[in-house]
Amino acid sequence: MGQVDDELPRRDWRFWMIFLSVMLSQFLTALELGVVSTALPTIVNDLHGAQFVWIGSAYTLCSTAFVPLSGNLAEILGRRIVMFASILIFTVGSVLCGAATSLNFLIAGRAVQGLGAGGIASLCQIILSDMVPLKDRGIFNGLIAISYTVGLGIGPVVGGSLAQHGQWRWIFYLMVPICGVTAGFVLLFLNLRTPPGSFGEKIRKIDFIGNFLVAGSTASVMIGLTWGGVQFPWSSPRILSTLIIGALGLLVFLWYEFSIAKSPIVPRKLLATRTSFSGFLQSLVQFILMICLLYYMPVYFQACLNASPIASGVDLFGLAFSVAPSALLVGLSIAISHQYRPQIWVAWSLVIIGTGLFSTLRAGSSRATAIGFQIIPGLGVGMLTAALFFPILAPLPVEYNAQAVALLIFIRNFANILGVTLGGTVLQNELQKRLPPAFVSEFPQGTAIAYSIIPLIHTLPDPLKSEIQVAFGESLSVVWQVLIGVSGIGLLLSLLMRRLPLHTDVDKKWGIEKTEDSLISMKAVPSET
């Protein structure tokens, strides 16, 4: 167990260089997430593949599966080596994606990328929790949100530009030098404490059974969600069996972690309070919404408004650049007021309003209207990104920070899986109903193939072109309507939170090595029981 530290290192140049390493790492993962979204139709068309959903799903699946293990390894081996290894894995995955000669090859590369991204995302938040007490975390979360938003904002433009000029492979190759710079910062400046003990002793502490259970169960659920209603009916034994096995596997995983595991990756205490439980569930809902918006707004601009890939990336600016300011402002407000519930309630209300406005968009809507509508849910998503750490961590002793953060990142990544597959499933099922039968008949493998025709819709003759655009507009409207309901669930879950004080301490076992001239006094805050 960790110990509460009543003396924290002053935020000197070492602190800020470590924080810069974290910001670079977050920028890297955000850039990758953004560049693929606008280029996806072009990539699918070029590689002539049917299962486009797996380009995103393979990434998020492997990212999710690796998060618990990365958090486990960070507790046992230390933060630096796990972060560096994660960046290296991400780099290898980027090279594989760039060299892909088929859709299956690309999906395999995306899976490797996802492994690295899961570790990076987990370690960034764990390192921040090592160095910054919860009462100050909002400001730093806001600063990280700026780097994340910059990556998320320029990513679609870069991806769209390269795809439009037939150079989509450089979407992935450009990641390599950025990975090199980030890895260099990690090696030079990520000088954090390392737990004692021999390598053999540390390896024996890894929860291999728990990691196997959660990875296998997540994969099973993912396969069922991806295939359901597209390749097989939802009532198909194949779909039902994968979903049931996955769900039972996750229950077995929790039972094992709570009852048997000696070094659990999910201690029972993490889910023992209603405030933390509410925070975790709200994070799940938030990221389902965010990934749906990020993946399917470019589809709207390209399919319905004749936007090129690069133009659809620019058109996402309303969403991308409303996130960071709201995250920073909410972080400041929490630091000043020491309250987090009012901000979260306002955020969910904005998201509900924003998705409601999206549901009114059709093929004939103006581009300015669609861009302007993005600002409202963008503000809400930014506020939630900065604020949802607080109900999760406030009830817990600081020695549970790493496990809580790893579980939060796992839930966020699992939400990405749900979001991509939810949006993709709804879109494909609705397109099946609305696309002209003569058009659908040209794609015997299903509407996943029709997705690849998006870059060519503007070249089709009327009235076929108009019919297809109307079908996409109405189908996407159903996607946004589903998201209204999802947002409402998030608001209801937020009502479970209690108002709790925010910690003013960190775990003594971790953080930067102390020096005699860099100490300040801090106090501990009681937790919810």
How far is 299 from 23, CA to CA, in rounded Å? 29
CA distances from 95 to 39, 64, 154 (A): 17, 21, 21
94 vs 510 pLDDT, higher one: 94
* Gyration radius (Cα) of the chain, Å: 23
pTM summary value: 0.80
* Token couple for 20: 């810069």
pLDDT at residue 391 is higher than 80: yes
Summarize pLDDT for 44-72 with one digit per residue, the tens: 777 776 666 677 778 877 888 888 888 87
Q: Supply the pLDDT for residue 248.
A: 94
Whether the bond between 463 and the residue before it is cis, its omega within 30 degrees of 0, is yes
- The CA-based diameter of the chain, rounded to the nearest angstrom, is 77
Q: Supply the pLDDT for residue 510.
A: 63
Q: Which of 89-93, 159-163, 300-304, 431-435 holds the top average pLDDT?
A: 89-93
pLDDT at residue 23 is higher than 80: yes
pLDDT at residue 169 is higher than 90: no
pLDDT at residue 443 is higher than 70: no
How far is 175 from 95, CA to CA, in rounded Å? 8
How far is 256 from 464, CA to CA, in rounded Å? 56
154 vs 243 pLDDT, higher one: 243
Q: Supply the pLDDT for residue 374.
A: 92
pLDDT at residue 452 is higher than 90: no
Strand-pairing partners, residue 506, are 5
Q: Supply the pLDDT for residue 153.
A: 73
Buried b (16+ CB within 10 A) or exposed e, 166-180: eebbbbbebbeebbe
The arithmetic mean of pLDDT across residues 396-417, rounded, is: 83
The gap between the terminal CA atoms of the chain, to the nearest Å, is 18
Half-sphere exposure of 100 toward its Cβ, with a 13 Å CA cutoff? 31
Buried b (16+ CB within 10 A) or exposed e, 117-150: bbbbbbbbbbbbbbbbbbbbbbbbbbbbbbbbbb
Query: Residues 362, 304: contact at Cβ < 8 Å?
Result: yes
Burial (0-12, 13-18, 19+ Cβ within 10 Å), 360: exposed
Buried b (16+ CB within 10 A) or exposed e, 421-443: bbbbbbbbbbbbebbeeebbeeb
Can you spell out the DSSP letters for 260-281? T-SS-SS-GGGGSSHHHHHHHH
H or E stretch at 324: helix 317-337
Angle between helices 208-227 and 53-77 (to 10 degrees): 170
Q: Supply the pLDDT for residue 527.
A: 44
- pLDDT bin (cut points 50, 70, 90) of residue 194 is confident
The arithmetic mean of pLDDT across residues 111-125, rounded, is: 88
- pLDDT bin (cut points 50, 70, 90) of residue 295 is confident
pLDDT at residue 197 is higher than 70: no
Number of Cβ atoms within 10 Å of the Cβ of 245? 16
Q: Supply the pLDDT for residue 412.
A: 84
Strands annotated E in 441-518 = 506-507
Half-sphere exposure of 215 toward its Cβ, with a 13 Å CA cutoff? 17
Residue 364 phi, psi (nearest 5): -90, 0
Buried b (16+ CB within 10 A) or exposed e, 209-243: ebbebbbbbbbbbbbbbbbbbbeeeeeeeebeebb
Q: Which of 5-14, 259-268, 312-321 holds the top average pLDDT?
A: 259-268
DSSP letter (8 states) at residue 507: E
pLDDT at residue 457 is higher than 90: no
* Token couple for 74: 């960070």
pLDDT at residue 335 is higher than 70: yes
pLDDT at residue 4 is higher than 60: no
Amino acid in position 525:
V
